[in-house]
Amino acid sequence: MNNKIITIDGPSASGKGTIAKKIADILGFNYLDSGVLYRILAYIYSSQPDFSHDINTENIQQCQQILIDKFNHSKILFENNNIFLENINITSFIRSETIGTLASILAANQNIRIQLLDWQRKYALAQGLEGLVTDGRDMGTVVFPNAKCKIFLIADVNKRAQRRYEQIISQTKNQDVKLNDILLNLKQRDERDINRSSSPLKPSNDAFILDNSNLTIEETVNIVLTYYKTV
Ligand code: DC
């Protein structure tokens, strides 16, 4: 199975999801967006009226077990690029920048990561899986260290901010969004994801580091597919 797992890690808005989905479609593999799991946890957190809005490490430690139990007992369904939690379509809600930031804060908690590690490995072992393309921050370093094909996708932070800005404008028609706010948010999220002690964002020693700042989606997909055939 390890030669049928492609991990694509990298910072926020580096294009991981778009590239991973396309590659999964071309190869007929399943696709797992691991960031969605952290976003679902953030959604569960934000929908608990008794959890503190002033979120910090101490608050998270107090509620981590309740949060993990709720996650483990929830019915989660991925269908046609939509995410259902207990039959409710939460896709647009969990894609917000607010949930992304909360997900990044929760993701620094080691117990939460251990629980999700189990979930992700079980998903990969599910029967009938042809192969897996998965994206995140630690897929090549921690979750699937034996995968043969590991990509670390990077891009200039200004380009990433511009891409995220255009995506938000086209998906939400929210004209109030400011490029500078997005840039600042991306920088803060990168810093948090890189500097946490538990499974930080970093390339695995055997990863292929690909800078797609000046590449189109198709060019990036082709480079990854060509690399996959060589490993
Ligand atoms: O990829 P994303 O933006 O949907 O991820 C949201 C947050 O979840 C990200 O800022 C950090 C966390 N995350 C993580 O820690 N490990 C992963 N494998 C995927 C996401």
Residue of minimum CA distance from atom 4 in ligand 1: 35
Residue of minimum CA distance from atom 12 in ligand 1: 104
24 belongs to a structural domain: yes
Q: Take residue 48 and report the two structure tokens written for it.
A: 């608990």
231 belongs to a structural domain: no
Residue 103: domain span: 2-226
115 belongs to a structural domain: yes
Per-residue pLDDT of the chain (231 residues; tens, 9 = 90+): 788 999 999 999 999 999 999 999 999 999 999 999 999 999 999 998 878 777 877 888 888 999 999 999 999 999 988 999 999 999 999 988 889 999 999 999 999 999 999 999 998 887 667 899 999 999 999 999 999 999 999 999 999 999 999 988 887 777 788 999 999 999 999 999 999 999 999 999 999 999 999 999 999 999 999 999 999
Pocket flag, ligand 1, residue 11 (CB < 6 Å): no
Residues 14-24 pLDDT 10s: 999 999 999 99
Pocket flag, ligand 1, residue 104 (CB < 6 Å): yes
101 belongs to a structural domain: yes
CA distance 19 to 159: 16
Residue of minimum CA distance from atom 10 in ligand 1: 104
162 belongs to a structural domain: yes
* Strand order across the 30-33 sheet: 30-33, 132-136, 5-9, 149-154, 208-211
Measured from the Cα of 189, ligand 1's closest atom is 10
Q: What is the pTM of this model?
A: 0.94
38 in Cβ contact with 201 (< 8 Å): no
β pairing state of 76-79 and 5-9? unpaired
CA distance 151 to 206: 9
Measured from the Cα of 139, ligand 1's closest atom is 18
Substitution candidate for ligand 1 out of 92, 104, 202 with most atoms within 8 A of CB: 104
Q: Which of these, 14, 119, 10, 26, lies nearest to 73 by C-alpha position?
A: 119
Number of domains, the chain: 1
Residue of minimum CA distance from atom 11 in ligand 1: 104
CATH code of the domain containing 128: 3.40.50.300
